[in-house]
Amino acid sequence: MRLRDFVEVLTTTAEKLVPKVANSTAKFGTNVGSSTGTLPRLYILGQCTPDLNDVDCATCLRMANRQFLHQYGGRVMLPSCIVRFEFNQYDQPFYKSDTAVMSFIPAYIVPNTNSKGHRKFSDKIIAAIVAPVTVISLVVLALGICFIRKSSKKYGSLPPQIENEDFTTADSLQYDLSSLQCATANFTDENKLGEGGFGGVYKGTLSNGQEIAVKRLSRGSGQGVQEFKNEVLLVAKLQHRNLVRLLGFCIAGDEKLLVYEYVPNKSLDYFLFDPDKQALLDWERRYKIIQGVARGMLYLHRDSRLRIIHRDLKASNVLLDVDMVPKISDFGMARIFGVDQTQGNTSRVVGTYGYMSPEYAMHGQFSVKSDVYSFGVLVLEILSGKRNTSFYQSGEAQHLLGYAWKQWNDGAPLEFVDPNIRDSCSVNEVIRCIHLGLLCVQESVDDRPTMATIVLMLDSYSVTLPVPQNPGFFIKDRTGSNFGNPVWSDQSTSKSMPWSVNDVSISEMEPR
């Protein structure tokens, strides 16, 4: 038996099952795969809960199908759907056996038949079994919904989240719109913390005293409700000291809101580029910020359950907590990859010019190395205390990267360093960070280190750094009007707009 034949029969049969189930009134269906010389016949069954519409049912089934393992039989159960398959050499479908019916939990039960085609159970017996179970299930479900809504309105928040809890449904993370409106004074400008890559961010205080940050996602997204819930559910499980924690979400009409933990010391750019506040960031703090951001990005790229490409890493998306520990924000609705996927292409470029890698800005090619480029720009900004646009606009050099490269080649790297820390910093650490920053912004993707290598370089002096080359960069507008500003562009239509918007499309994920 060839694995390719096995996979082809299973995936094709499972995909053909999706519309049969989604478009049926009972949200139930079966399908039979064609047998080959090496494979027995495949039987597959699928069912959705009757509350789902056609689109949500199809989405749930496809998510279940992607979790099949390469074995002769299996079952995938999600909160709103179930798919079961079996290769049977005797051409006997499992869904006509007694055990298949009794072990299946959905709202509709397929009548069993014996080999002669007659009903094995009478309608009265089936009704007597199904009716009480259905009524009890509906009552429990209704009570649960009422309890969650009542708790949300009374306390303005969800029940306390347990660390590493295995959530079975995204509904446990859902906030009530009225409580978020009350917490933010109906999203007034006085409570607005800033404009992120995916929408405005507002400070809020729930009725129980908990401080939160609420992000109103752009309404331009075409993502469906079920896909949004599924993605939030996965992102909420990401736990790392250097990531802003996603607490939950709210969907009401056209509103899609994300609820984050509140980080009191604003963003890194608030301190780094302010002449009066730069002195608060001594070298020790700056070095710890660089290390923290690197570890947070490594978690997103390699150590989390998902592989997440940020696509908009910059100083304004690095928040600082009360101890000045960096926390990366705006990562939740970036681009989520399968575990083994490392790169992709898009016709919609999102992010900020000046922080985008050349291959992403010009060709829509993004990967973990795109984030490495942005990290390199951020490191050079932290070292110099200057925005990436400052030197370009002042005419001193082409831009910050060009200035750093010039000082490096001239043998005067400390001239690049912020005067506030030049006399008190560790010279070896600073020079190593400049070296590392230049390696991250190499034009060739292959010449840039991975985040794992970067963390190792920052933590150990035993690692020898390769010699950097002239950095690669992309400038959209040589007048500087758009350089360094958040942008959204659709390369298929050559449009661009002066803000950053994310597709927030449902992401394809493979189980680990």
Q: Which of 5, 171, 303, 312 is catalytic?
A: 312
Residues 268-497, CATH architecture: Orthogonal Bundle (1.10)
Question: Residue 59 pLDDT more than 90?
Answer: no
pLDDT tens, position by position, 318-353: 999 999 999 998 765 545 444 444 444 444 455 676
Q: Which residue type, as a one-letter code, is found at position 453?
A: T
pLDDT score of 185: 94
Any idea which of 116-130, 297-311, 345-359, 481-495 has the lowest mean pLDDT?
481-495
Any idea which of 71-75, 195-199, 338-342 has the lowest mean pLDDT?
338-342
pLDDT score of 430: 96
Do 376 and 438 contact (CB within 8 A), yes or no?
yes
Distance between alpha carbon 141 and the CA centroid of its chain, in Å? 29
pTM of the model: 0.58
Q: How confident is the model at residue 113 (pLDDT cuts 50, 70, 90)?
A: very low
Distance CA 50, CA 251 (A): 21
Distance CA 234, CA 173 (A): 11
**Which residues, 6+ apart, have CB-to-CB distance to 481 below 8 Å?**
none
Question: Residue 100 pLDDT more than 70?
Answer: no
- Reported for 117-120, long-range contacts at CB under 8 A and 24+ positions apart, including other chains, are none
Any idea which of 192-206, 351-365, 489-503 has the lowest mean pLDDT?
489-503
> Who has greater pLDDT, 339 or 232?
232
pLDDT score of 507: 34
What is the side-by-side strand order in the sheet with 348-352? 348-352, 486-490, 495-497
Is the dihedral angle over the CA atoms 67, 71, 72, 75 positive or is it negative? negative
Placement of tokens 């520990």 in the chain: 325
Distance CA 108, CA 309 (A): 41
Do 306 and 238 contact (CB within 8 A), yes or no?
yes
Give me 135's structure tokens.
Answer: 């009524």
pLDDT score of 219: 66
Residue 230 forms beta bridges with which residues? none
pLDDT score of 381: 96
User: Which DSSP state fits 413?
Assistant: G
> Who has greater pLDDT, 445 or 196?
445
Distance CA 6, CA 429 (A): 55
Q: Give the helix ranges, DSSP H, for 326-399.
A: 358-363, 368-384, 390-394
Q: How many CB atoms lie within 10 A of CB 475?
A: 18
Q: Which helix (H) or strand (E) holds 289?
A: helix 283-298
pLDDT score of 350: 56
pLDDT tens, position by position, 248-301: 889 888 888 889 899 999 899 999 999 999 999 999 999 999 999 999 999 988
pLDDT score of 87: 81
Give me 63's structure tokens.
Answer: 């998510």
Q: Decide: residue 4, CB within 10 A, 0-12 exposed, 13-18 middle, 19+ buried.
A: exposed
Domain 3-103 is in which class? alpha beta
> Who has greater pLDDT, 408 or 114?
408
Residues, the chain: 512
Question: Residue 64 pLDDT more than 50?
Answer: yes
Q: How confident is the model at residue 356 (pLDDT cuts 50, 70, 90)?
A: confident
- Among candidate residues 39, 18, 47, 46, the one with its CA nearest the CA of residue 88: 39
Is the dihedral angle over the CA atoms 64, 66, 71, 72 positive or is it negative? positive
Do 335 and 282 contact (CB within 8 A), yes or no?
no
pLDDT tens, position by position, 361-395: 777 777 889 999 999 999 999 999 998 866 544 44
- Among candidate residues 337, 398, 399, the one with its CA nearest the CA of residue 370: 337
Distance CA 488, CA 468 (A): 30
Q: What are the boundaries of each domain within the chain?
A: 3-103, 170-261, 268-497
Placement of tokens 């940050």 in the chain: 213
Q: Give the helix ranges, DSSP H, for 309-367.
A: 358-363
Residues 280-318: b if buried by 16+ CB within 10 A, e if exposed: ebebebbbebbbbbbbbbbbbbeebebbbbbbbbbbbbb
| Percent over 70 (pLDDT), the chain | 65
Distance CA 505, CA 484 (A): 25
Domain 170-261 is in which class? alpha beta
pLDDT score of 93: 82
Q: How confident is the model at residue 144 (pLDDT cuts 50, 70, 90)?
A: low
Catalytic annotation present for 56: no
Q: Decide: residue 272, CB within 10 A, 0-12 exposed, 13-18 middle, 19+ buried.
A: buried
Q: Please report how many Cα atoms fall inside a 13 Å half-sphere around the Cα of residue 485, on the Cβ side.
A: 14
> Who has greater pLDDT, 473 or 51?
51
pLDDT tens, position by position, 441-474: 999 999 999 999 999 999 888 888 899 988 876 4
pLDDT score of 40: 81
pLDDT score of 132: 63
Distance CA 512, CA 508 (A): 13
pLDDT score of 151: 44
Placement of tokens 């607490």 in the chain: 247
